[in-house]
Chains A and B, each alone.
Chain A
Amino acid sequence: MSADRYSRQSFLGANAEDRIARCTIGVLGLGGGGSHIVQQLAHLGFQRYVLYDDDIVEESNLNRLIGATSTDVPAETPKLHLAKMMIYSLMSNASIRGFACKWQEKPEPLRECQIVLGCVDSYKGREEIEITCRRYLMHYIDIGMDVHGKERPVIGGQVIMSSPGGLCMRCMGFLSDEKLAAEAALYGNAGHRPQVVWPNGVLASTAVGLAVDLVTNWTRSSRTHAYLSYDGNQGFISESHTLRNLQVKSCPHFSESAVGDPILLEL
């Protein structure tokens, strides 16, 4: 690799290029958020990917799906294909293991990752990823956005980082049984959520920034968790008030010994 290619990111540290190249990173969902993420990861020099998306490009994706063109709609191009092409165009020697299925259908490759970036729509989906990340020791960075209200729409979103040994999404007040139950009650009736390109870009960029900091520790912050809230109307991201007010110090939901393949115990 040309030394000049990463000269503008040398502030990330002397070994940053090597650290980034060695990290295996998973991206779950390659739509509005995930397409931004893979593009940025490839620019940064990430070389090892485990990607999942079972969807194809549709007309309604063209307002935000990075890399998609009008020809991808009639061609029914898989979103996974777009992501791979995006990465290979920037990083021809990348190692990509891509799966056009739900990650739960083929979870083993994901377990080799050090960092997983999740771009899924549901609380249930996030909970399943976080449980897997704790069980197989992976940092999990989640992004999500939503638009509330019709008369005066409000764009909101979040970027959450949940790491083994640190606070989880329940500790941070993001996941709860009530939210999961409410979502389950809407099953099959959720409809299409509003999605636009720029909030996805803001959230994806923030998530990639967290991932780079995890790999290089260039900020010296040594974060063990993060919950950043996005106010798309005002255009700012700040630490979640929920997290700040909860004052939780340690996670009671995940034991550090509850790792590896689950085992059935005879009682």
Chain B
Amino acid sequence: MKVQIKLSGSLYIGIIRDLTRPHPFAAERVGFVFGRLGSLVDNNRLILLTRYHSIPDNQYVEDHTVCARIGSEALTWAMQAVYHGRSGREGIFHIHLHRFRGEPGMSAVDRREIPKLIPGFRSVGQEAAHGIIILSSDHGTAWVWPQGSTEPVHVDCISIIGTPVSVFEHGRAK
């Protein structure tokens, strides 16, 4: 299965603007972005991002062993949002930014911590696709857990439908 993600230019700008704001103690910010499903040929999937949720400063937990850790309040909010979005099969994506150029990847902490969130999202929104998006200053990459699958799919490309149009392709340098 191949998966693509699309989002509007205005949503992308809003996400970048929020994720690059300094936090009182966390070294980086994280957020949640919601996406709906579109069908493509050969059972491939399109994820269309709709809205972004900025995590309030006071929902971060001070932990200097990681760049950012969010607390149970933020996670509960995310679970509730997925639950309420069930009728629209709206999935949720953990999103953060690595401040360098080129295609980003998961850090060791990302690999250890973020995928743990997915089973919780799936338990309240089984019909939706959930995942992880990591942006860099000029690229982006993502992993999606499609409905009914316990294994993630590395997203082929993320398209920003703004001006300019940007296409971030997995495995192809920008």
Contacts and interface: CB of A to CB of B under 8 A. Distances in A.
Given A108-B39, A261-B38, A256 B165 contact: no
A137 B48 contact: yes
Interface stretch (B1-9, B65-73, B76-84): B1-9
Nearest to B9: A165
A260 B36 contact: yes
Contact of A137 (B6, B88, B167): B6
Nearest to A13: B164
Interface in B20-52: 36-41, 46, 48, 50-51
A259 B50 contact: yes
Contacts of A96: none
A109, A137, A163, A265 — most chain B CB neighbours (10 Å)? A137
Nearest to A219: B163
A196 interface: no
B87 A263 contact: yes
B interface majority secondary structure: strand
A139 B6 CA distance: 12
Q: Chain B, interface size: which category?
A: 20 to 34
Contact of A112 (B4, B10, B51): B4
Interface in A122-168: 135-139, 163-165
A214 B160 CA distance: 11
A214 B51 CA distance: 23
B136 interface: no
B159 interface: yes
A215 interface: yes
A82 interface: no
Contact of B37 (A214, A217, A224, A261): A261
Given A114-B165, A136-B46, A163-B161, A256 B8 contact: yes
Contacts of B10: 165
Given A165-B10, A263-B89, A138 B161 contact: yes
A241 B51 CA distance: 34
A interface majority secondary structure: loop
Interface string A164-192: 11000000000000000000000000000
B62 interface: no
B99 to A, nearest CB: 20
Interface in A14-32: 15, 18-19, 22-24
A213 B163 CA distance: 8
B169 interface: yes
A22 B8 contact: no
A216, A263, A265 — most chain B CB neighbours (10 Å)? A263
Contact of A114 (B46, B159, B174): B159
Nearest to B10: A165
Contacts of A15: 174
A102 interface: no
Contacts of B88: 257, 263
Nearest to B166: A19
Given A165-B10, A257-B50, A139 B165 contact: yes
Interface string A93-122: 000000000000000110110110000000
Interface string A187-227: 00000000000000000000000000111110001111000
A137 B165 contact: no
A116 to B, nearest CB: 11
8 closest cross-chain pairs (CB), A and B: A260-B36, A217-B164, A259-B48, A22-B167, A137-B6, A164-B8, A222-B163, A260-B38
Interface of A: 15, 18-19, 22-24, 108-109, 111-112, 114-115, 135-139, 163-165, 213-217, 221-224, 256-257, 259-261, 263, 265
